[in-house]
Chains A and B, each alone.
Chain A
Amino acid sequence: MNIFCLKRFKDAFDKLSKKNSYKELEKQLIDYFFNKEISLILNGTRLNNSVNKPFIKKRLEGSGGFRIYFLALIKNENIYLMFVHSKTGSEGSDNITPESKALIYKEVLECIKSNNLYKLNLSKDGSK
């Protein structure tokens, strides 16, 4: 499975990762997305009613209560991480508006078309 992310995701991740209270985020992302069959991550809330290219909001449990938005292109086995936020703490927010969801959805399409993406790989020791 190939994992990519948008700049929007990278910025949000970097901002959260700086805070000690969100140090779990990186581990939770690695545990959930890496070294897995794509079928195992197709759960959560499907936002776009698409069978082959679902736009998913996934709730990661734990102290941070993170919410991850991603697109899965099942046939190509590509995952595109679009945005992440926490439910709790100083950077926490309840949810994002439907308009914001629509915006990042459009953004991922544009980024795929222009190949404006970051490719994510684990380091050899599997930590990052």
Chain B
Amino acid sequence: MECLTTKETIGKTIEIVKETSYAEKKSHIPERDDIDKFLDTLLIIQKKTNESSEKVEYINDCLEKLTWLNEVDEDSLKEINSLVGSAKYLHSILARQYILIGNLRKKGLSKEVIKRFKDSIDNLKESIFDLDSVFFGLPQIPGFLETTKELSLI
């Protein structure tokens, strides 16, 4: 085993520090501009994501409100059926967007903003399912309309 003297130990340490210092000086570190550009991009993503979340939350409210309409005729049902299709397509687009920006969340960036976006998309999926269910699913289930009729007599 090599046994270094005090002077040799200090000398070796100095050597390591000098080598590291030189290497670090030569290596590329992000310039201030690079960091600013990165932060600007992150802010743009956050702003756009928040805008999308807001729009989707509004759509979710609109879909819920449709279930409170009292006069829904055959033509309106056709429109609602078409709306369900459009909303499903919108959901697929948003889900693809989430896959892209979801990676930021995994890296701990913009966690709250991206979570809000994810929640709004999940709620959209649920609202579409419920809307379809209210106008097309539940009335087809044996006994459901009879329960409504019986309740009306209470």
Which A residues are closer than 8 A to B by beta carbons?
Answer: 43-53, 57, 59, 65, 71, 73, 87, 94-95, 98-99, 101-102, 105-106, 109, 112-113
Query: For the complex, what is the distance from the CA of A47 to the CA of B68, rounded to whole Å?
Result: 9
Chain B interface size, under 10 / 10 to 19 / 20 to 34 / 35 or more: 20 to 34
User: Does B148 contact A49, Cβ atoms closer than 8 Å?
Assistant: yes
Which B residues are closer than 8 A to A by beta carbons?
Answer: 64, 67-68, 70, 72, 119, 122-123, 126-127, 129-131, 133-134, 137-138, 141, 143-144, 147-148, 150-152, 154
B72 to chain A, nearest CB (A): 8
User: Does A53 contact B126, Cβ atoms closer than 8 Å?
Assistant: no
Given contacts A50-B148, A50-B152, A94-B126, contact A106 B143 (CB under 8 A): yes
User: Does A102 contact B64, Cβ atoms closer than 8 Å?
Assistant: no
Query: For the complex, what is the distance from the CA of A49 to the CA of B151, rounded to whole Å?
Result: 12
**Count of chain A to chain B residue pairs whose CB atoms are closer than 8 Å in the complex:** 67
Q: Contacting B67 at CB < 8 Å: which of A46, A53, A95?
A: A46
Residues of chain A contacted by B64 (CB below 8 angstroms)? 43-45
CB-defined A-B contacts under 8 Å, sample of 26 = A44-B64, A45-B127, A47-B130, A47-B133, A48-B147, A48-B148, A49-B70, A49-B72, A49-B134, A49-B148, A51-B70, A53-B148, A53-B151, A53-B152, A53-B154, A59-B123, A59-B126, A73-B154, A95-B129, A98-B138, A98-B141, A101-B133, A105-B144, A106-B143, A109-B151, A112-B154
Residue in chain B with minimal CB distance to A105: B147
User: Does B147 contact A98, Cβ atoms closer than 8 Å?
Assistant: no
A111 to chain B, nearest CB (A): 12
Query: For the complex, what is the distance from the CA of A106 to the CA of B147, rounded to whole Å?
Result: 6
A-B contacts besides A59-B126, A102-B141, A109-B151, 4 pairs, CB < 8 Å: A45-B134, A48-B148, A53-B154, A57-B130
A27 to chain B, nearest CB (A): 20
